[in-house]
Amino acid sequence: MSSPPTAKTPKPTESGARRSTKETARTGSMVALAILITLFAVFNLNEVKVNWIFGSGKAPLIIVIVISLLVGIVLTYAAERIIHRRGD
């Protein structure tokens, strides 16, 4: 005898699970922020005077913005690692 039909379960996505609404919103906001930062940097191509600890020089504003962004990312990552270590 054949068994009765059962309800079909939805197939998982390639990653194995569906993304939650919160994850999708977070990803979308990160993409939007990246686009805004990119547009801001691209529209600021003028050369600016940069004062270093020792001396000064000129650099395109886009380079100053990108370097500042990268320094901020590195400092945030380092601070999170320090906080995570203290919590363990």
Tell me, yes or no, whether 52 lies in a domain. Answer: yes
- Give how many domains the chain has, as a whole number: 1
The average confidence (pLDDT) of the chain is: 82
For residues 53-77, average pLDDT: 90
Write out the two tokens for 22: 């919160």
Tell me, yes or no, whether 62 lies in a domain. Answer: yes
The rounded distance, in Å, linking the Cα atoms of 88 and 83 is 9
Name the nearest CA neighbour of 33 among 63, 76, 69. 69
For residues 14-38, average pLDDT: 86
Is residue 71 predicted with pLDDT exceeding 60?
Answer: yes
Name the more confident of 78 and 45: 78
Please report the pLDDT score of residue 34 as a whole number: 92
Domain range for 26: 21-87
Tell me, yes or no, whether 16 lies in a domain. Answer: no
Tell me, yes or no, whether 32 lies in a domain. Answer: yes
Tell me, yes or no, whether 37 lies in a domain. Answer: yes
Tell me, yes or no, whether 5 lies in a domain. Answer: no
Tell me, yes or no, whether 35 lies in a domain. Answer: yes
The rounded distance, in Å, linking the Cα atoms of 60 and 68 is 13
Confidence bin at 62 (pLDDT 50/70/90): confident
pTM: 0.50
Is residue 12 predicted with pLDDT exceeding 80?
Answer: no
Tell me, yes or no, whether 9 lies in a domain. Answer: no
Instruction: End-to-end CA distance of the chain: give it in Å, rounded.
Output: 58
Name the more confident of 18 and 34: 34
Per-position DSSP letters for 6-61, written without gaps between them: -PPPPPP-TTSSPPPHHHHHHHHHHHHHHHHHHHHHHT---EEEEE-SS-EEEEEH
